[in-house]
Amino acid sequence: MKIVHTGEGVTFAKGFQAIGIAAKLKKSGKPDLALIYSQVPATVAGTFTQNKVAAAPVYVSKETVATGSAQAIISNSGCANACTGQQGLADAKEMAMVTAKELHIDPMDVVVGSTGVIGSFMPMEAIKKGIHDIVPQLSDTGSPAAGKAILTTDTHSKTICGTFTVDGKTVHIGAIAKGSGMIHPNMATMLCYITTDLAISHSMLQKALSAAVEKSFNMISVDGDMSTNDMAIILANGLAGNTCIEEENEDYKTFYEALETVVVFLAKEIAADGEGASKFITIEVLHAKSFAQGKEVGMAIANSPLVKTAFFGEDPNWGRIICAAGYSGGDIDPNHTTLTIGGIPIFEKGMGLAFDQEALAKIMAETNITLTIDIEAGQYEPVIVWTCDLTYDYVKINGEYHT
């Protein structure tokens, strides 16, 4: 995939428009309502939070994804519409109906996404007015505005776009995402919206998205909390003109590689923008027996508050890292485990090693740090987890979030 360094995001692919506005859902007056629209019906796929306490828009959007077709995404920040009972479901469905009416499409072709404070009812009068106002503003260059409108505690919008070739046709793909806190696998606290002009069947699109999410959004952690509203949605409208992908052929593989590139980039952006984070940490688990074992070890390290605070304090406390790996459930043998930070070996064969304290101190002071743990259990490819440190600002942000 050739990454294009522009802000075009979800409007990069043919036939897509987007926009974001301030609909007065947030007291701050910042943008809080986003709309993404395909000028023709599109194939849709989605993955959603596995939290048993899921928000109303998750249930509504699952129904749309199950049909295999969609044409628009309406998404708000400022209110999660979670734990709101039957009223919340009715409100989410009304968001779809009002959007559909304004766009002259079927309500079942509208995906609904929400993010914000849990337990509050949607301000439906403001929502309905916002939807009425937003549709006429749809733009071929509206992706940056849409990206800003879905943010909560993020410091910036996450976006990427690029091209790849399938069946001799140039295919475009782009995305926007938000995510900063309550980041944990299955899925992270996030909204991700992807658009492409590829022609592909629903089953193949769903297969590709599910597999790509497992290697990206399900491999990041900020604080170990799984949200109620998470979703990743992809729309593929077929305007690239390629022969429709209906099986796992070479064209499917090309598309999958491009999709994985997109979601891995966004996942890393989300982890790096963790609430209050000052350091982005890559955890490489080498020579696991399986993906599952590597993920268990990597996630235990990523989720450890002691590990995360050690990185914040720039303290190379390898005991905390090895401890987390040991209780991970990944069945490691410390006598066959090697740990390095920034390429400097600090633990081997069950014991700490002498190392250059000054050199490691410089690495710990960096904002981008790689931790590598070789567990010598098998020959599986490297398993990579992304996380960040845990800072004073994280406590401040979340202590004041509801107010």
Write out the catalytic residue numbers: 189
Residue 278 CB neighbours (<10 A): 16
| Closest C-alpha to 274, from 381, 142, 367, 373 | 367
Taking CA atoms, 38 is separated from 11, 261, 323, in Å, by 9, 23, 50
| Closest C-alpha to 75, from 36, 26, 124, 129 | 36
Q: Is 167 exposed, middle or buried (0-12, 13-18, 19+ CB in 10 A)?
A: middle
The 3-state DSSP class for residue 282 equals: strand
Helix (H) or strand (E) holding 10: none
Torsion sign over Cα 40, 45, 46, 52:
positive
Task: Classify 188 in phi/psi space as left (phi over 0), alpha (psi -120 to 50) or beta.
Answer: beta
CA separation for the pair 384, 283 (Å, rounded): 6
Pairing type for strands 338-341 and 368-374 reads antiparallel
Spatial neighbors of 332 by CB under 8 A, at least 6 apart, are 297, 325, 326, 375, 377
CA separation for the pair 366, 168 (Å, rounded): 44
| Helices and strands of the chain, counted as H and E runs | 11, 16
The single-letter code of the amino acid at 197 is D
According to DSSP, residue 92 is labeled: H
Spatial neighbors of 306 by CB under 8 A, at least 6 apart, are 317, 320, 323, 324
